[in-house]
Every structure is written in structure tokens, then in C-alpha cells.
Structure 1
């Protein structure tokens, strides 16, 4: 990316000798017979084509010390008119020398091309490399310097500086394009997720309508039968027999109504899955409480194995985790129906990645491979019609993921199933109330 014809490229000369300033002005400023003679010499050395200097002018600034040079570089950057090249003398007593000034100038303008000028061997190349690093932005010019050499350095380094700035601009453009594409992809992904949620909501609504319709149909049928029966009550003896029939019909209606109530409760829980966690939780304590609550579902012949390790607390919801563990344990008991030696193993351990893992394992009937990927979908169930709403595992998945964890399942038909609940440990940045609770409990 070459500059337009007549464009000024800014050059800074830092030298404590004002006579050197005049020398650079004579060499780089485009006026006078001496410059024409230099152009002619360049043409002889580099060919008959017009030299690049014919279309480029330099704007020169001068500083008598390193501190002043650094200030000029800083001001130029703030004004949006940075220098392309700086010719810097190494010896500039009593202030900072050229090497130190170069370090400070590079901090202000990283692309600045620097030519260190010296008539003495103040620094060896190894010393300069240690102080300034091996940089492609640095050249060495020995005094007394050749005028053509200075001009060619100025042209070449300005061109290099322009190319660097063009490459930076290109990188910024590419980064902006990547950010725009990333944002577009994120928006598209958000729309996809929203569409998937709407699809899941549609499936949930269809499942809910189906689940509610079945018990509601026989509730209405039985209640209508009760009404008709009550209207036709005959004599006393026949009335007693009719009363028994009506009582059975009412019991069926109550059973159906209770099922509707359970469905409604599950849907309400499903709708409240976005509630934030509230407390620091002792997972082992929650599991023990859950075992007590599930006691009626644990048949006497069932062998319950506890494998609880010492684990840190997790930041979550005791009620929510209790609901997850209870659902998994009850599901395990259902899978054990008909097994001769039913067994449930409950395990709690800390993984190498720091997560706390809770396992609920059974040796029951297992789950078919084609069903595993759908277990956490709303209203999907492998239980017989009328025995489950299909919301239990979906609710469990929502609770666990909202706590920052995950839930997975492994199963082999005929051998059993293992659910793994992964939970993050309580963060030191937990809310103050949770931290106070941890101190009170002595953990």
C-alpha cells in the first residue's frame, strides 16, 4: 500500500547536536540544488527510472534529547499523526541515551522504525540485542553517514511502516468480519434454540393434552353414571346395590382426579425450573433424607448399597437435589420389578476434575438403546400408559443443569442402569449468606 503522490511521511531526528539536525534537513528536505544532485546520483546507482523520492516528501521534526523525542512520539500518536521513522543518536548526555529512548518510543508507537546513529562503539550488537531484543524495526547507522544511504533508509523504512499499518488495518478488518460473523451465528443459534424450545413446548402441550384427556374422560364418564344412577334409585334393597356401584364409580373418579393433580404438579415444577439456587448443600445429607423419604418404595427384599465418600459441598438447592435423587431412586425401584435379587447402589464421590458425582445404579431391566437419547425429553416415558407423566427426568435434567451440573445415563438391557449426576463444588465467591451458613456449620 504505497502512499498517494505528494504524501508527507513523518520522520523524527533525535540528536543533541543541532548541526546534525541541519544535515538531515539538507538530505531529506526536498529543496535546493544539492537535492537535485543527490537525485542524479541515485539515478546513476539504481537505474534510469525516476527514484521513489520524486513522489514522496518527508515532514521532519527534531528533538535535542531522548526525553523530548519520547514526548514528541507520544504527542504524535495522540494527534493521530504518528512518525514512521526515527533517526536516534546513541550518545545524548546527560539525559537518557538513544537505546533507552528507543525503548520508550516503542512503548508509545510499536511500529516505529528506528535507526540508531553513532560514531562510537558504545554498544556491541549483542548488548543492543539484550536491551532492545532482536527487532526487525531496528537498523544501525555509523557516523559520518552517507547522504544517499540516509535517503534510501528513509524511503525503505517509510514504505515498510506503511505496509505494516496496512497489514494491521487488514487484520482489524478481518477481526471485525469475524466478530460480525460470530454475532450472526450466535443470533442464528439463538433463533434455533428458540425454535427448538417452541417445538418442545408444542410436544409438551400435545402430551399434556393427551395425558389430561385420558383420566378426564373416565372421570366424566363415571360422574355421569353417578348422576344417572342417583336419578334412578329404586326400592331399598336395589338401592343398596346401586349405592355400592356408585361408590366404586366415585372411587374411579377420585383416582382419575388424583392423576390429573399429579400431572398438574409436574407441569408446574417443569415451569419453575429457572429458579436460581439458594444455598450451600451437603450432598450426603440430602441423599440420606431422600432415602428416608423413599422408604415405602424400597421393598424389604431390595438390597441398598451406600458408597459415600467425603466430598465438598455444592452450591445449589437442597429441595431441588432431593427431588432429583428421589425421582432417580423411585425409577430404579420400578426397573427392579420381577428381579430375584434386586439391588440399588448409591454412590457419592469427588472426580479428578473437581466435580462431585452422585450415582444411582440398579440391576433392573435396563433401557433400550433407542430410548436413551430421549429420556430427558418432556413427556417421553418408557413406562406403561397411565403409570407416568414423562416429566420426571426432564425436571431432573432442568434442575441439575440450572445448578451448573450435568446428568447422564448408561444402560444395558437386562443388566441395569446407572444415572450420574455431576455437580460443581461450592465456589468461594458464593453469596454472603451461603458463606455465613458454611461458617456456622463448621465446614
Structure 2
């Protein structure tokens, strides 16, 4: 039965049979007579009650809850025993009330914790739902970014191809120009020989009049120039083929100096006016690599160096050097151009970051270069100061024998 502050207590609720028995045995010994405990209804709770027994009320909270009966016990002793029994019951009331308060407090705390737990479960469910939605959105954004990044990479490649094509067109157009001019002139010379056929009767006078001695000499020179022009075109095509490595899509053992020379030959005709390219190459051990990819890296870095010098609005030199020790192959591309501020240098390898004007670059040159170098187990470093130039250093591990 639940305890309360304003309820009526019964003796058997406060004192169980064992406790009541021990208590009454002690009180009987003290009283020196026979005792019995009666409930509020007059029924005996302990001992044998008789009509001839004196009785003393047991009062709690001003209301009698039973009686203490005695036979052969002095009235004052009976009253004292009743007082002790009442005090014991009051202690039990306080204990039960305190216990009830504790249980109520625990129950209230438990209920409060249960409510908080339910709230936490609801919050967790919402967070899980939001997390799932966020994950879906993040995946969608990552996919979109990857798609856009791939598009920019492709755009950068197309831009490089376009610049390469423009350079190739310029290089090939020169020999084609004098080939056409020379062949046109030589055709005129053949016309003069055809005229000679008509004037063979005039003999040496006709030969001199048509100036055929000059025609023979100049014709040989024209043909030599045409042959050199054809060889030059063949060399340009060969350089392009070697640069792009269209016939080699897998890794191979290659000399990086050859990659640097191919890139230099391709970029040489595309550098801005006043920019000189110098190669300072030392012997290197072979490296297992994708030459076509490294060619593109070297070409982009040389082009960046040339643009940095052009932006400085003064003549300058792009120096390309190579060296090797027991552990590393080192390639350095230096320029004496505009250089970079510390803030620009800290962002130089971030995708899509560029110091070029809008429309002049996608900001993928150094980012792509770093990715390609890392794919070859190498590393790339950047040293630059404003108006003092930039040095890009690439390190590749020497193959172990």
C-alpha cells in the first residue's frame, strides 16, 4: 500500500509479526506482567487479550490505531510500555514516509530520464535522417564537383592541345612557305629550259640570254632548301610524336632528359618575344614512367615560366636543369619573371586557382603537375618571391637495381 502524509496507519502495516513479537517480548519483560496488542478493530495482533485486562490506547497523529492490554501490570508500567510502542511505530511511520519520498523521487527521476531518453531517441532519429539526407547531398555535390573538375581537366587539355597546334602550325608553316616559294621559282626555271629547247639553234647565245648558269646554281640551292624544309617538317612531326607518345600508353624505362628536350623543342616556337630557353642537362639514370604525361608536365611548367617573364615586361631566361644523386633525380625549371606572393604560393597547387586573367587559364597546371609527379612516387616543390622569379623543383626516386 502506498504511503502518504494524511493516511491512517495500522499497527500491522508498521510492525510486521516478527518485529512486533521481538518488541513485545522485550516490553513484557520490562512490564513484569502479561501484555497483548489489539488492533483498531479490537482483534488481537499479539498475545491473548482478556476482558479483565487493563487497556491503554496506542495513538498516532492524534488518532488511536489500537490498544495495549495488560494483566498484572502496574498502570504506569502499562503507560510506559504503550509510549515505547507508540514511539517505535512513529519511527516506522517516518521511515516509511521517507522511503516513500525516496521512491517517489526515484520514480520521478526515472520518468524524467525516460522522457529525456525518448527525446534523445527522437533527436537521434532526426539526426540520422538528416545525416542520411546530408550524405546523399554530399555525394551528389561530390559527383557534380568531380564532373566539373573532369570537364575543366578536359578543357585544360584542349587548351594545351590548341596551344600546341598553334605552335605546330607556326613551325610547319615556315618551311611550307619557302617550299612553295622555291617550287614556284623552280617551275619558272623549268619554263626557261623549255624556252631553251626552242632556241637550241642559237647555241651559247641562247644559254647566256636565258641566264641558265644562274638557273642551275640557284635551282640546286632551291632543291637543297626544299629537302631541308621537308626534313624540318619530318623532325617537327617526329618531335610531336615523341612528345605525345601516341604509340606508348604504358610505363617504360625512359631518360627524363629526352622528355625535357622534346618539351623544349615543342615550346621553343611558342615562347613570348624576349624569352630565351636554356637547357642545362646532366646525365640521368633511366626512370620507369609514362613519358607522355611527364612531357605534358614539363611543357606546362616551361609555358608558365615563359608567361611569368612576359608578365614582368622585360627580357628573361627560362633555365631548365637536371641532375641526379644516389637517391633522387632532380629537375628544376627557373624563371626570372614576376614571381609569387606568399599567399599566392600557398594556393598555387589548389585546383582551379590561377593568377592569370579570367579566360587565360583554368588553374589546373600546377595541380595536374603535382598529381602526375605523385603518381610517379615523386614530389614537387615551389620557391618564389615577388619580382624575383620562380623555381619549380621536381624530385623522382632513382630506381633501385
* TM-score category of the 2 structures, normalised to the smaller one: 0.3 to 0.5
- Structure 1 length-normalised TM: 0.38
